[in-house]
A and B are shown apart, each in its own frame.
Chain A
Amino acid sequence: MELLYPDLIHYLILAAILFIIGLYGLFTSRNAIRVLMCVELLLNSVNINMVAFANYVDPNLIRGDIFALFIMAVAAAEAAVAFAIVLAIYRNRSTVDMEDFDTLKW
């Protein structure tokens, strides 16, 4: 019971697993929208770390919480622009398949 009680380590492990899942999705997804969702997952796992550290290490100033808020704002901006780009690409090429986006090819 003592070992199971949620401590900093537990949150860190959870965030790491979430991060890994998001990263794997980032590498392998073919749908551009799913890739962007995976990016959001990565950002969220980082936020968990931030808030966990703020709670356990820095409870007086909770700077981690503030950083989490900033990350959210940046993520929101990023999401808005990224999805707009996906829409623009879709209008031009009628597809959101990442395998078709290879104009940077040699």
Chain B
Amino acid sequence: MKEIIITISFYILAFLSLLGAMGVVFNKKIVNSGLMLLLCFLSIAGLFLLLNADFVAMAQILVYSVGIAIIVIFAIMLTNPNSTQADIFKRPRSIISLISCFFLMILMFMAIFADPFIRMLPSGLTTQRLIEAGTSGIIGKALFTVYVLPFEIISILLLVAIIGAVLLARRDIEKIEEE
């Protein structure tokens, strides 16, 4: 029973995430693209839950589905929400892109199905402990012991990014004064 539920939910979530991704790329209206991106992010959060990664799933919802999606929506609003994507298939670049992506996919699948790689992996291993206790404890311990330096650096990076974003996005003071 449990396996059936997991299987069904995996395929639904996979389908939704792919749908969202396709929607992002092929939707004519940019606002719809943004909403499809949100769908994609949420379904990926669901996949994370299926993978016993509750903390990452929550972070995914917080950072991507809320944070970045809102930034995207704002950006669309502030630029030109009505602009539509031109016919992408008529340009030769699309064909080259398609061929190139196709070959990349083949390469990736070859890598995934490569014999030594599959044999190396322990198949179907899930741990009861993760399901019972959740991952937050492990992640918290790791972040403040082994990964404390990257963690602090990331905090500085975020600070820098905030300042940089403010600096880039604000209008010139002179222009404001002129107005």
A-side interface residues toward B, CB under 8 Å? 1, 4-14, 16-25, 27-31, 33-34, 36-38, 40-41, 44, 47-48, 51-52, 54-57, 59-63, 65-66, 68-70, 72-81, 83-88, 90-91, 95-97
CB distance from A99 to the nearest CB of B (A): 8
Shortest Cβ-Cβ A-B pairs, 7 listed: A77-B161, A25-B25, A27-B97, A84-B168, A84-B169, A6-B10, A84-B165
CB distance from B134 to the nearest CB of A (A): 11
Is A29 within 8 A of B37, CB to CB? no
Our count of residue pairs bridging A and B at CB distance below 8 angstroms stands at 242
The answer to whether A55 and B126 touch (CB under 8 A), given A24-B98, A41-B24, is: yes
Is A73 within 8 A of B158, CB to CB? yes
B-side interface residues toward A, CB under 8 Å? 3, 6-7, 10-11, 14, 17-18, 21-22, 24-25, 30, 33-34, 37, 40-41, 44, 47-48, 50-53, 55-56, 59-60, 63-64, 67-68, 71-72, 74-76, 78-80, 83, 85-86, 88, 91, 93-94, 97-98, 100-101, 104-105, 108-109, 112-113, 118, 121-127, 129-130, 135, 138-139, 142-143, 147, 150, 154, 157-158, 160-162, 164-169, 171
Main secondary structure of the interface of A (DSSP, over half): helix
The answer to whether A81 and B168 touch (CB under 8 A), given A33-B72, A62-B135, is: yes
